[in-house]
Chains A and B, each alone.
Chain A
Amino acid sequence: MDLKLTKRLGAHLGAATVIVGMLATSMAVLAQENPAPDAAEEDVNDPFEPLNRAIFSFNLGFDKIILRPAAIAYRAVVPAPARESTTNFLDNLESPVIFLNDLLQGKPGRAGNTLARFGLNTVIGFFGFFDPAESMGIERHDEDFAQTLGTWGVSSGPYLMLPFLGPLPPRDTVGFAADIFTDPMTYILWHHRTANLALYGVDIVDQRHQVIDEFDELEKSSVDYYAAIRSLYRQSMNDRIRDGKADLENLPDFDN
């Protein structure tokens, strides 16, 4: 499941005013919240559930009518190598934000990795369309400001589902906004609104098309899709905050 999708969806709106408004609200909510939920009992922290469910239905509708068909068309029309190059190119553009957050999390090794990848892929990889760094064994990892806040010990706060944006609890909304403001592309394309929107559009479709089958299958096989997505989102966020390392201290307790 690629949850970067939510971020990209949000970027698609490109409306700084909306983001700033959200940021303010989120800060207020964040201030009131909230002890870190026990990993095993995380299913509770959703005080706005009825509203969240309504927004989720709206998002699903948007996905069914516009996003998913676009992703399917993209997969059908564009040949696989071109799609892969597009993914590489878009991934490479995320490097500055990843690099910044590697540093903010005090991980110089990973920052060096990101920097090396960016250099190699931009220069040898033809502006990032190819990923020679990967074949040299320098593997990609992702970071963003929401994860950085997580490593600093900020808990996510109550679950929030935002229109178009998907699951974005307060901490992650703040992170999401910070990512936009720390992304050089935001400033490079500041006065090129069409180019910016086109880039976001491609990015969203690219993200969505990578998980068509997975989400189809998940929706089909869940008994409560909303609750499944909520749990997946939280667990995935926590996993990314831990950089994919299993949390052996807090394994679910199967004996009580």
Chain B
Amino acid sequence: MTAFVMAKQIWKTCPILIIKLTAAPPNGFYLMFMRSKFIPLTAVMLLAATLSFHITARAAVVPSAFVESLTYSAFETLRDPAISEKERFSKFRALLSDHVDMPRIGRFVLGANWKRADAAQQAEYQKLFHNYVISAYAGRLKDYTEAKISIKDTVSTGKGEHIVSTLITHPKNPEPVHVDWRLRENAGELQVLDMSIEGISMALTQRSEFASIIQQNNGDINALLTRLRSSAGAISDGKQVSITK
């Protein structure tokens, strides 16, 4: 997944190295090698160094690189004209399962009602929630597949959590959108915990919606499940999942 990011980094770094080498003030030692194979050799060595740095960096999972590669894969999946809607759906699902902490988010979004639900309800809810997120976010993100993401900074909040601030610029939109990614290390792997768009936490918003549905039905968790089931039905009918425009 990070192959793209690595390739991009190398591509970015490579010309700079060459410029640095060739623009260095000429001294005797340097001049000796000026016409030899020194420059290409050094360039290759430095390139190798950069590469190995990126490989080690990947092993330790750099939060910003994680966000870059995840958004790249997500946008790529959503816009790829070569795959069928069904494939798109399952690729997007796989991305979410691998890189988003869906079980924890699901529990959070159900809030206090999670503890009130019985085991069967919890299990069904998690399944329905997963499907709901796929359809909702495929739709919400589809207009952004041509967008460029730039990393502003990363703050580590301790407890293995990081907030990566990004600006998403869309050719259609004059103003960039500020998105914060809250990541958590789970068993050495980074996973998305929440996404804040202009300070609006998607998890909190979702929680508010679900709480409201349950409250309106006098605390009946099944009411929410029914609602989610009907939107899941719409997904499998292909009504809501036409991800591409």
Contact = CB atoms under 8 A, between A and B. Distances in A.
B104 interface: yes
A235 B139 contact: no
B237 to A, nearest CB: 15
A231 B199 contact: no
A238 interface: yes
Interface in A208-256: 213, 217-218, 220-224, 226-228, 230-232, 235-236, 238-240, 242, 244, 246, 248, 251-252, 254
B205 A254 contact: no
A244 B208 contact: no
B205 A217 contact: no
B205 A228 contact: yes
A42 B135 CA distance: 26
A236 B201 contact: no
Nearest to A239: B199
B165 A246 contact: yes
B139 A43 contact: no
A223 B227 contact: yes
A91 B164 CA distance: 30
Contact of A251 (B104, B165, B182, B198): B182
A51 to B, nearest CB: 14
Interface stretch (B16-24, B50-58, B209-217): B209-217
A40 interface: yes
Contacts of A1: 198, 200
B204 A40 contact: yes
A84 interface: yes
Given A217-B139, A252-B201, A227 B196 contact: no
Interface residues of A, number: 32
Nearest to B231: A223
Contact of B204 (A218, A221, A235, A246): A235
Judged by DSSP, the binding face of B is helix
B199 A235 contact: yes
B1 interface: no
Contacts of A220: 139, 240
B26 interface: no
Contacts of A244: 178, 198-199
Nearest to B135: A221
A230 B209 CA distance: 9
Contacts of A242: 199
B155 A248 contact: yes
B209 A222 contact: yes
A40 B207 CA distance: 9
Nearest to B208: A231
A40 B194 CA distance: 13
Contacts of A43: 207-208, 211-212
Interface string B82-112: 0000000000000000000000110110000
A108 B184 CA distance: 37
A248 B165 CA distance: 12
A213 B245 CA distance: 12
A95 to B, nearest CB: 17
Nearest to B137: A221
B100 to A, nearest CB: 12
Contact of A221 (B104, B140, B157): B140
B44 interface: no
A220 B180 CA distance: 24
Contacts of A222: 136, 209
B70 interface: no
B78 interface: no
Nearest to A240: B199
Contacts of B178: 244
Given A223-B227, A246-B165, A251 B205 contact: no
A204 B165 CA distance: 31
19 contacts: A1-B198, A43-B208, A218-B140, A223-B132, A223-B231, A227-B208, A227-B211, A236-B198, A236-B199, A236-B200, A242-B199, A244-B178, A246-B180, A248-B155, A248-B163, A252-B108, A252-B201, A252-B203, A252-B204
Closest 6 CB pairs of A and B: A239-B199, A227-B212, A231-B208, A221-B136, A43-B208, A235-B200
Given A223-B231, A224-B210, A231-B207, 17 more contacts: A218-B140, A221-B135, A221-B136, A221-B140, A222-B209, A223-B224, A227-B211, A227-B213, A228-B205, A231-B204, A235-B204, A236-B200, A242-B199, A248-B155, A248-B157, A251-B182, A254-B184
